[in-house]
Amino acid sequence: NNSIAWWLGPRTMVPRWWASRMSIRRHSHFGFRGMGRLHECLMVCSSLIFLRSTCAPHRRAFIGTLPALPARLLLGRAPWRASHRRPVVGCLHAVPLTLDVLARQDSATVRAVFDVLASDASFEAFTARQMQSIVRRDEEDGEKLKQGIQLAIDKGLLPEQVHVESARSVNVEGREVDDICSEIIEALGDAPQKGCVMTLQGLSGTGKGTVVTRLQQLLPNTHIWSNGNLFRAVTLLATTLAEQQGINLQEALRPTTLQTLMGMLKLVELADGEFDLKVDGLCLSYLASEVKNTVLKESRIERSIPTVAGMTQGEVINFVRNALEQMTSSGYNVLMEGREQTLNYIRTPHRFEVILPNMALIGQRRAAQLVGARALDQIRCKGGGGEPGSEVDVHAEIREALKALVGT
């Protein structure tokens, strides 16, 4: 009647043979939950041995059953429960912050930066500020998008009522990206073998981009569709027309003129099987992929894109629908991530929504991303990208980056 086997056996996937190796005996008058601190510490030591030697499902099942004190000792912070886990950007295990990890600028970087700054009061304040900024920007963007959609409805480009297929909710809190992708791929079934469209919606900062990027690596013949270059290409044509004809931007965006401009955009399949957006008109001839960081990032484009995006939602959505049909008919899979208002006009049964019950994690993720990027820039400026002397130097750069960002 070993106490560990008695308490864990019927509650977890932990093999009873492991529990039976513990030398702690159950005392009939208080049982496992009443064991003293020494017994709890022995429990933690044996837990570490088990966690290092067993497979991931057993590890997760075992950790979830630990009582509060051993879990706190084992993890070095609050008891491990679903509500305390990291979002998709985080890892389930601590990652030491080295220069290599910092240079990756990925989910491991975010987790490592957060672990270094978790107890820093200024980081907590910076996190709260980022969360407020994200929520405010989401609300503002949502209102602008709503107005753009209504304008498209008024122009007769979009129907007022649409039947939207149900979206499957995917909780990303405390899960690694491969685990999330496995759930999505399983739900897709054999659709990727034929060519399909998959949409992924959710709030800013929930890791949609991370999931979509990983899905592209895991699924065959898969492209990620982004409306960003399309809006920029429309803006390039509109501003060029305004300059050539000496008119203002609003005149260049009149419905009849805009219809002509949209005819100058085509989705072309390249020799290597990739698809690209081609701009062909007004003496311009570009592939979007070749000028996405040059021509499409010019200051005149940056200044005008908010106005153009607000007035061209219907035209862009209809272009995208035709492009998606072209790609899937060729046997390709297309991944789209974005806002629910626009994705509702894309017809597909493969709809997913990432959710993050603990909204505070969104601010933590964004804050850690900003601090990590700032610290990496500092290191490169100081040493030309050379490696600092030790991990302590990286930690110092992280704290210096935070100090600079908090002051901005």
152-164 tens-digit pLDDT: 999 999 999 999 9
Phi/psi at 286 (5° precision): -135, 150
For 287-342, how does the pLDDT look when each residue is reduced to its tens digit (9 = 90+)?
A: 999 999 999 999 999 999 999 999 999 999 999 999 999 999 999 999 999 889 99
More confident residue, 283 or 67: 283
Confidence of residue 174 (pLDDT cuts 50, 70, 90): confident
The rounded mean pLDDT for the chain is 80
Chain length of the chain: 408
Whether the predicted model's global pTM rises above the 0.75 cut = no
| DSSP secondary structure of 106-175 | SHHHHHHHHHHHTT-HHHHHHHHHHHHHHHHHHHHHHHHHHHHHHHHHHTTSS-S----PPPEEEE-TT-
3-state secondary structure of 67: coil
* Residue bearing tokens 């272009």: 319
Nearest one of 9, 16, 81, 93 to 56, comparing CA atoms: 93
